[in-house]
Amino acid sequence: MSQINIQPSCADDFDPESLSVREALQRIDNMAIPVTGYERIALRSALGRVLADTMTSPINVPAHTNSAMDGYAMRAADLPTEGVNELTIIGTALAGQPFYGAVESGTAVRIMTGAVLPEGADCVVMQERVELHDDRIRVGTGNKKGQNIRHAGEDLAKGDTVLESGRVLTAADLGVLASLGIAEVRVWRRLRVAFFSTGDELRSIGEPLEAGQIYDSNRYTLYGMLARLGIDVIDMGVVRDQQEALRQAFHEAARNADAIITSGGVSVGEADFVKNILTDLGQVSFWKIAMKPGRPMAFGQIGNAMFFGLPGNPVSVMVTFYEFVQPALRRMMGQTHIDTVTFKVPCATRLRKRAGRTEFQRGILERQGDGSLWVRGMGYQGSGILSAMSQANCIIVLPEEGGSVEVGTLVEVQPFEGLT
C-alpha cells in the first residue's frame, strides 16, 4: 500500500519546519531598517509623527526665577523665629509685569504666581499665611528661605536634552517644544504601505454575494490598524487567485511602497503558488511560525519593500499584525522605543493549550471588587470569529513550552489599549 504524503496544517500542535515566535521576531527585526527621508513641519502638525532630531533647549525654562504662589516676596532674614514681624509693602509684581525695585530689610512685595522674583527677595510667603493691614503685613513663624520659588532653568536648562530622536511626539511633547519657542520640527517622512487581499471568494462592500462568497473584512481591519500608526496607506483592493494578476500586484506594490501586506494565499495548498512568484521577485525568509492563531505567515522582501503575507482568517490577520508587523513598521518609521506593554495577572478561567507553539488567546481584563485585575478567556478561540476580537480587551500570551493554564495561574496579557 502506498503512503499518503501528509502536509502540515494549521491545526498541528507542532511542525518542525515552523520558526519559534522569538526567532521570527528576530529575523524581522534584522531586516526592518528605518526609511530614508525627512520633512520639516509646523509644530501643530507634528502630533504622532516620529522626531528625526534630538531636541535641546535653546533657553532656560522658566526663563526667570519666579513665584510658585500668590503671596509676598521678602528676605528670609526678616522671617521671625518666634512671634511676629511686621513688613512694609513697597510694590506689586504680576506675571509679565515685574517689580523693578529691590526688596530691602523690613519690606515685602505683593507677588502673583509666575511673576519674576524681585531683586533681594529669597522666599515667598503665601497670602493665606499673613495678616494684611493697609500697606503692611504681619508674618509669623513656620516659613523658610527658598520656599514657594521656581528657579530659572528648574524645568529645563539651556542646552539640556529635551526629546530624543526616534520619539513619537505626544500632546505633552508639543507643549514642551512650544514652551521653548520652537515652531517647526524635522520628522521622518511617512511610511508608505500597500496592502491587498487575495481570494476569488472575496467581494467588496456593496457588491451582491453569491453562493460561497464573503465580504472582505480584512482590508478594513488592516486599514484601521495602519491608520492608527499614521501611515500613508495604499489600498489595492482584492486581487484574484491568478498568477499574472498577483505578479502584477506585487510589482506595483513594490514600486510604490516601503512595505507590502497581503491577507490570504499563504496557507497549505496555496503557498507554492504565491511562493513561486515571491521567489522570482524577491526573497522569502520564512513561511510558518509555531503559533496559534496565524501559523501560516510569510515574510521576506520584494525589491526594496518588506513583505508580510498574513493568513486569510480575520483573527489571524489581527494577531499577526500586532505581534509581528506593527513592531517592524514602527522601526521602519524611525521609532527607537517599541516595547509592547505587557503584565501578568491571575487567570479566572481554565485555558486549554498544548506545548509546542505560542498561543495568543483573546481575553477580557476585569477589575475585581478588591481592586485587583484578573483576566478570563473567552472560550471560543476560532481564528475566523472576528467578533471575539471586538468583544475582547486584551491578548493572553501563552508561551511555547507551556501547557494548559489552571484557574489562578499568572498569565501574561497585552491590553488592547495602546496596542490597537
Domains of the chain, CATH where assigned: 21-37+191-332 (3.40.980.10), 40-61+162-188 (3.90.105.10), 66-150 (2.170.190.11), 343-415 (2.40.340.10)
* 3-class DSSP state of 185: strand
Query: E strands along 199-271, which residues?
Result: 202-203, 214-215, 232-239, 259-263
Cβ atoms of 156 and 162 within 8 Å: the answer is yes
290-329 per-position pLDDT tens digit: 999 988 999 999 999 999 999 988 999 999 999 999 999 9
Share of the chain above pLDDT 90, in %: 77
181-200 per-position pLDDT tens digit: 999 999 999 999 999 998 88
pLDDT of 392 > 70? The answer is yes
Determine the straight-line distance between the first and last CA of the chain, rounded to whole angstroms: 53
Q: Which amino acid is residue 253, in one-letter code?
A: A
* Residue 383: pLDDT band with limits 50, 70, 90: low
Closest CA to 393 of 360, 371, 366: 366
Question: Between vectors from CA 349 to CA 379 and to CA 413, what angle results, nearest 5°?
Answer: 85
Sorted by sequence, the CB contacts under 8 Å of residue 190 that are 6+ apart come out as 230, 231, 232, 333
pLDDT at 268: 59
pLDDT at 29: 95
pLDDT at 15: 59
9-18 per-position pLDDT tens digit: 444 444 557 8
* C-alpha cell read off for 235: 489600498
* Cα–Cα dist 50/173, whole Å: 12
pLDDT at 308: 96
- DSSP string for 93-128: EBTTB---SB--TTEEEEE-TTPBPPBT--EEEEGG
* Cα–Cα dist 408/410, whole Å: 6
pLDDT at 257: 98
* Cα–Cα dist 269/237, whole Å: 23
Q: What value does the mean pLDDT take over residues 232-247? A: 91
Query: E strands along 112-245, which residues?
Result: 123-126, 130-133, 136-139, 149-150, 161-163, 184-188, 192-198, 202-203, 214-215, 232-239
Residue predicted with more confidence, 203 or 169: 169
pLDDT at 269: 61
56-104 per-position pLDDT tens digit: 999 999 999 999 999 999 999 999 999 999 999 999 999 999 999 999 9
114-162 per-position pLDDT tens digit: 999 999 999 999 999 999 999 999 999 999 999 999 999 998 999 999 9
327-347 per-position pLDDT tens digit: 999 999 999 988 888 999 999
* 3-class DSSP state of 133: strand
* Cα–Cα dist 302/321, whole Å: 19
Any idea what DSSP says for residue 173? H
Share of the chain above pLDDT 70, in %: 92
pTM of the model: 0.85
